[in-house]
């Protein structure tokens, strides 16, 4: 089946750019190809486009400043490590189930003699306020929070967590990964009382390879890439003007359809959950049942290996992703390490983790596509369940 006819339900991984975004980027690349730092007549038009995009994006979050980056991972890196570099050595807090963009900051944080503490999470992937409070202290330099979980869909209780941090570690920099939330749910830096947030363009129908770090008026960040001193000295390198314009266009579309998109994708997620649970009563939806992103549904069908289900559905034109990637031969008679750190953090054993898959939607996803997807998904899962060794499904239901 061709890509045009396939059903794409992996929008948490990346989204298809809007035609308006592609057109705006192409026009900018051709008409404003000058270096924004150039003093001759070709520089100012590019600079103007860049600053127009910056100002619009700044306004979408009530930010004091916007730093364009290569995407969400770099924005996380700059927000967390850049803030830590401005502070005396202390502790940096993050959750065990966080995205690798957050967790992989640990090695560089050690260069500034900061100690990373990875906090355990709940069975739904949330961060319990008591767990956070027990780890807080005045020596905490940075706290990193993943607002909307990319695999589980769980939304943190951000107001409660931020209140605790401000009370117990008032000088800590609070960084929020907003990659799955921006363009899906409303967010304001001042209202949230956080210092920085990371955004990635390709998660909301914008361009790949561009994102930004939004900063509050009180944020203090050290540059990690000096080069030519662009981005107000916080990130060197010739600016990606077409990418910034693409971000602006995508953000404008996202913000004007925020409520309707949330309702639409939530309805689609509920459709899939209901259909799967009707067919497989022992199936489970992962994540928090109340606080969750509208566009992500993470499911587990006992006795059905997620990767096998994904590959079989893909051959029939349905694309989604799995929650655990299992590699290499192993002895099923012995306990095995869970390959996916997220699923290990919420307490799933290796067998249960292999049965997880994730489906995610966009505002461009149609109800007809989801109905067709449900037919394919249920059909393939039923076939795999029938082939599973007797007892596997029952064992899975007890985990």
Known catalytic residues are: 326
Smallest Cα–Cα separation from 146: which of 191, 108, 109, 200? 200
Torsion, Cα of 387, 327, 273, 398 (10° steps): 70
Residues with Cβ within 8 Å of 1's Cβ and at least 6 positions away in sequence, in order, are 316, 317
Range 93-96 contact pairs with CB under 8 angstroms and sequence separation of 24 or more: 93/117, 93/119, 93/132, 93/135, 93/136, 93/140, 93/142, 93/143, 93/144, 94/118, 94/119, 94/143, 94/144, 95/119, 95/120, 95/121, 95/127, 95/145, 95/146, 95/345, 96/120, 96/121, 96/341, 96/345
Cα dist. 121→118, 154, 160, 380 in Å? 9, 11, 15, 33
Strand pairing partners for 15? none
> Which residue do the tokens 């967590």 mark?
161
DSSP-based three-state secondary structure for 345: helix
Q: Is 107 exposed, middle or buried (0-12, 13-18, 19+ CB in 10 A)?
A: exposed
Helix (H) or strand (E) holding 163: helix 158-168
Name the DSSP letter for residue 152.
T
> Which residue do the tokens 């951000």 mark?
158
Measured over the CA atoms of residue 145, residue 323, residue 75 and residue 94, the dihedral's sign is: positive
Residue 3 CB coordination number (10 Å): 9
> Left, alpha or beta for 328 (phi > 0: left; psi -120 to 50: alpha)?
left
The dihedrals phi and psi of 245, each to the nearest 5 degrees, come to -65, -40
């Amino acid at each position: 089946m061709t890509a045009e006819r396939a059903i794409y339900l992996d929008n948490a991984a990346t989204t298809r750019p809007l035609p308006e975004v592609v057109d705006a980027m192409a026009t900018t690349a051709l008409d404003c190809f000058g270096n924004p730092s150039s003093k001759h007549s070709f520089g100012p038009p590019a600079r103007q486009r860049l600053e127009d995009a910056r100002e619009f994006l700044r306004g979408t979050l009530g930010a004091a400043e916007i730093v364009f980056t290569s995407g969400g991972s770099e924005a996380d890196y700059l927000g967390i490590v850049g803030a830590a570099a401005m502070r005396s050595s202390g502790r940096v807090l993050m959750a065990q189930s966080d995205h690798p963009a957050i967790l992989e900051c640990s090695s560089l944080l050690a260069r500034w003699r900061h100690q990373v503490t990875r906090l355990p999470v709940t069975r739904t992937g949330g961060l319990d306020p008591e767990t956070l409070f027990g780890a807080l202290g005045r020596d905490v330099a940075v706290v990193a929070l993943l607002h909307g979980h990319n695999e589980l869909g769980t939304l943190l209780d951000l107001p409660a967590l931020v209140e605790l941090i401000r009370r117990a570690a008032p000088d800590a920099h609070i960084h929020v990964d907003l990659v799955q939330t921006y363009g899906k749910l409303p967010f304001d830096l001042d209202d949230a009382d956080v210092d920085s947030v990371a955004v990635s363009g390709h998660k909301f129908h914008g361009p790949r390879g561009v994102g930004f770090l939004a900063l509050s008026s009180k944020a203090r960040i050290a540059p990690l890439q000096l080069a030519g001193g662009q981005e107000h000295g916080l990130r060197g390198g010739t600016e990606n003007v077409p990418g910034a314009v693409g971000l602006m266009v995508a953000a404008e579309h996202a913000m004007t359809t925020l409520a309707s998109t949330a309702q639409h994708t939530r309805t689609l997620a509920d459709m899939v959950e209901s259909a799967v649970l009707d067919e497989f009563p022992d199936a489970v939806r992962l994540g928090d049942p109340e606080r969750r992103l509208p566009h992500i549904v993470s499911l587990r069908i006992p006795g059905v290996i997620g990767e096998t289900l994904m590959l079989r559905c893909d051959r029939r034109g349905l694309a989604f992703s799995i929650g655990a990637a299992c590699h290499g031969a192993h002895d099923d008679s012995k306990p095995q390490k869970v390959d996916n750190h997220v699923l290990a953090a919420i307490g799933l054993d290796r067998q249960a983790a292999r049965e997880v898959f994730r489906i995610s939607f966009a505002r461009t996803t149609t109800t007809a596509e989801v109905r067709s997807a449900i037919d394919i998904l249920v059909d393939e899962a039923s076939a795999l369940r029938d082939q599973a060794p007797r007892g596997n499904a029952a064992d899975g239901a007890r985990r």
